[in-house]
Amino acid sequence: MPRRVNHEASAPAPAAPVAPAALESRLPVSVVTLIAALGVLVASAAYAAGRAGYASSSWADRAYWLGQALVLAPAAGRLLSRRRLTPTDTATLVVVLTVAEYLLKVCYSPAGFTFTDELLHWRSTVNILDTGKLFTVNYGLPISPRYPGLEEATSALISVTGLPVFAAGLIIAGTAHLLFICLLYLTYRCLSRSHRIAGIAILVYSCTPTLNSFDSMFVYETLALAFLGLAVLASWRTATGQSGGERARWFVLAVLAIFATVVTHHVTSYMLAGSLLLVTVASLLTRARRTALMVGALAVISVAAITCWVIYIAPGTLSYFRPTVEGLAQGISALQSGGSSGAASTSAAPRGNQVLEGAAILAITVLVPLGWWQVRKHHRHHPWILAMALGSLGWFVALALRVGTPDGQELAGRTATFVYIPVSLVAGLALIRLVNAALVRRWKSAAIGVAAAGMLVLLFDGLANGWPPYWERLPGSHQVAGFERSVGPEEIATAQWTLSALGPGGRFAADIGIYPLLAGYGDQNPLQDVGYLYTSATYTPAIAQAARAQAVQYVLVDQRLSQSLPASGTYFPGDTTAPNQPIPIADLTKFNRVRGVSRLYDSGDIVVYNLQGAQVAP
């Protein structure tokens, strides 16, 4: 029967469940940092090789993975090792790991934003700088101006330093990302009362496929996660503070962090409210009255803030999520009726990636129940850890979504950021138990080596199946209908020309590669489901009718669409079927023969037509 501990008193000092006679490591943290820096250098050299025309070469790819191994392996080994590790060492390792991976993200796109969502937030930031107003129109991501936290912080930094948007964006995103990881580490440390468990939990969290991409990019979720982390830590301190004054100050801080989260990112604020509610429920179950009262009050405040924000400022949020919710409901309904959900049965990723993914899923799926066992044994009266255990059920929900619903892969990937928060602590509790087990102690370094190797599999899975996709892992020459590698000088110049010549808000048909640039640098309104305009040899009355119904004003034709299949699988935004041959050139040049369709712009690869005067006989 576990001893009942008062978890509402803050821990005076972390009590690491470390081996009694822990020895000094032969790998000091400073050496780990040095090796990680060398890893960044090697991976950056691999990126440079990609830009020099070796993006498809196997040695450049191997160099990239070698760089990643140098970053990850020593840190993972050190965190898992049973040798002595001070709280400062652990915190340093967490910071080194996070900074090294962020630097690799910077090295991938060091001259400007290239990812779709980053370009769209670039637009919202420039709009604030230009107009001095919030809530301006963003055609590419209409919901983002209604959650302006990221753009406000970036605009303020630009205004007081004179830095360009790209540099300021990197500073804000990088700072927010590091802050989030540090706050997560501090929260884990507070809950587990062990810097060692917290370090291992952060190591598990580093396996999140989205951590080094979506969660560290110049997107609103990156900043909101930092506020979420602060709100959770402040909530913990509110419940465990030693004096009334201290608790009151942390409470105010928690409320401010909740407000900041709510105005910065929708999903993160919902997850924050959900987390606080979960802790409240767990506190009621464990009869931790003060925690239930304080955290319950914060949960109510967050729900109220979200409701007010959605009603008065961002009513478009509901319609923004409608397609996702409907798709989810259809998938679940299909599963319940025993039919096909429409989920893709196979992944197009290379076999190595699929093996890594399978191994990682299996490992987490095994670790979570082991962690629950540890929670039941040692922490069943701890409301926060109990809440984490309940939250880790989300792992299995995400697994069900992944295999059972259309776009489940995408949805599970996006929810991983939040699902991994409780999963990491629970898995960390399981891992520390395994590492400290008597059987393991007998074989010491061999067992630690196996644990580190297993952790590396998880970390490499996060990278291999995260972002950028395997076919854009190294930067390089232009790819047709890709993502980052579809962003080049010609595409940027074209997008900038559309804004200067046509003004903002033009309704554009365009391929998936240049779509984000048109919305970002061009401030245009690129449309979905426009493939029909490009896939016939003649401009028929039916096509003209459909174009009028969509109010298409301009068609952007990239003639390279006739030269290769789309790197991303589809040529146009909204397409659901993958083509099996490139688009015939005649289909792309047909607009030259349509009376009234003016050819406004020609840069060789890219031509812009004005459809508004098209004259087609019915």
Q: Do residues 332 and 324 lie in contact, with contact meaning Cβ atoms separated by under 8 Å? A: no
Q: Find the shortest distance in angstroms from Cβ 96 to other proteins.
A: 8
Q: What is the footprint of other proteins within residues 300-339 (CB under 8 A)? A: none
Side chain identity at residue 435, one-letter code: V
Q: Which two tokens stand for residue 258?
A: 């909740």
Q: Which two tokens stand for residue 244?
A: 């009334």
Q: Find the shortest distance in angstroms from Cβ 222 to other proteins.
A: 11
From 485, 482, 506, 496, select the one nearest 565 (Cα to Cα).
482
Q: Find the shortest distance in angstroms from Cβ 275 to other proteins.
A: 17
Q: Which two tokens stand for residue 525?
A: 């309104």
CA distance 319 to 360: 35
Q: Does 581 bind other proteins (CB under 8 A)?
A: no
Q: What stretches of 392-540 show up as alpha helix (H) in DSSP? A: 394-404, 408-435, 438-443, 445-464, 489-502, 515-520
Q: What is the footprint of other proteins within residues 82-111 (CB under 8 A)? A: 86, 88, 91, 99-100, 103, 106-111
Stretch that binds other proteins, among 199-207, 390-398, 523-531, 601-609 (CB under 8 A): 601-609
Q: Does 601 bind other proteins (CB under 8 A)?
A: yes
| Alpha-carbon torsion angle 346, 347, 353, 359, nearest 10 | -50
Q: What is the footprint of other proteins within residues 117-146 (CB under 8 A)? A: 128, 131-134
Q: What is the footprint of other proteins within residues 174-193 (CB under 8 A)? A: 175-176, 179, 182-183, 185-186
CA distance 553 to 363: 52
Stretch that binds other proteins, among 152-160, 398-406, 421-429, 514-522 (CB under 8 A): 152-160
Using DSSP, how many helices (H) and how many strands (E) does the chain show?
22, 5
Q: Which of 74, 140, 145, 149 binds other proteins (CB under 8 A)?
A: 149
Q: Find the shortest distance in angstroms from Cβ 549 to other proteins.
A: 21
Stretch that binds other proteins, among 359-367, 509-517, 572-580, 592-600 (CB under 8 A): 592-600
Q: Does 27 bind other proteins (CB under 8 A)?
A: no
Cis amide prior to 315 (ω within 30 degrees): no
Q: What is the footprint of other proteins within residues 481-520 (CB under 8 A)? A: 488-490, 493-494, 497, 501-503
Q: Find the shortest distance in angstroms from Cβ 181 to other proteins.
A: 10
Q: 231: Cβ–Cβ under 8 A, 6 or more apart, which residues?
A: 254, 257, 258, 261, 272, 276, 298, 302
CA distance 141 to 122: 11
Q: Does 533 bind other proteins (CB under 8 A)?
A: no
Nearer to other proteins, 110 or 358 (CB): 110
Q: Does 605 bind other proteins (CB under 8 A)?
A: yes
Q: Which residue shows structure tokens 């919901």?
A: 143
Secondary element (H or E) of residue 600: strand 598-602
Q: Does 249 bind other proteins (CB under 8 A)?
A: yes
Q: Does 22 bind other proteins (CB under 8 A)?
A: no
CA distance 50 to 475: 5
Q: Does 246 bind other proteins (CB under 8 A)?
A: yes
Q: Find the shortest distance in angstroms from Cβ 476 to other proteins.
A: 9
Q: What is the footprint of other proteins within residues 36-65 (CB under 8 A)? A: 36-38, 40-41, 43-45, 47-48, 51-53
Q: What is the footprint of other proteins within residues 155-174 (CB under 8 A)? A: 155-157, 159-163, 172
E strands, 510-562, are 525-526, 554-558
Q: What is the footprint of other proteins within residues 419-478 (CB under 8 A)? A: 475, 478
Nearer to other proteins, 175 or 354 (CB): 175
Secondary element (H or E) of residue 172: helix 165-192
Q: Does 548 bind other proteins (CB under 8 A)?
A: no
Q: Find the shortest distance in angstroms from Cβ 128 to other proteins.
A: 6
**Which sign, positive or negative, has the C-alpha torsion 302, 308, 311, 313?**
negative
Nearer to other proteins, 84 or 378 (CB): 84
Q: What is the footprint of other proteins within residues 351-410 (CB under 8 A)? A: none
Q: Find the shortest distance in angstroms from Cβ 416 to other proteins.
A: 23
- Pairing relation of β-strands 507-509 and 554-558? parallel
Tell me the sheet residues that pair with 556. 608
